[in-house]
Amino acid sequence: MERLWAPWRMEYITEEPRPGCLFCRVIEDPADRDAALVVWRPEGAVVLLNKYPYNPGHVMVAPVAHVGNLEDLDDAQTADLMRALKRTITVLKKTLKPEGFNVGANIGRVAGAGMPDHVHLHVVPRWNGDTNFMPVLGEVKVINEHLTQTAAKLSEAFSSS
């Protein structure tokens, strides 16, 4: 039998559910433990790494407004969100050099939203060959860079561009 060691998963397995909204916590409290995943705080939005990414650089772009649906954002909030999304893609292209992106929103729990009360956009960098036999045969996704390394790269890139 082959073993895949992922000791950091124990924190996820044993972690008590945190009260409140992840996005609101990191927006309101820069000392929150999940705020270490924030790579940029633009006007009206926040950009943070997904703690359980599909690929390196998988970020979430959320408005500051705590609303569950895109259509509930006013025009200024929508503009802030889209400006943040555009710059995020630009920084990811420059820093990680992906060959493409998946960008989307899971709206509503039935659509897969883990945080259905605070709309957010997922930005997943993609590279040719980033899918391989591991998810098919082993039901395992290999992420080839630690979150703190990706966070450092992206934080630097956002602050310098």
Beta strands in the chain (DSSP E): 38-40, 45-49, 59-63, 100-104, 121-126
CA 25 to chain centroid: 15
Amino acid of residue 69: N
- Please, which residues bridge with residue 102 across strands? 124
Is the Cβ–Cβ distance between 68 and 80 less than 8 Å? no
Residues with catalytic function: 120
> 64: helix, coil or strand?
coil
Amino acid of residue 42: P
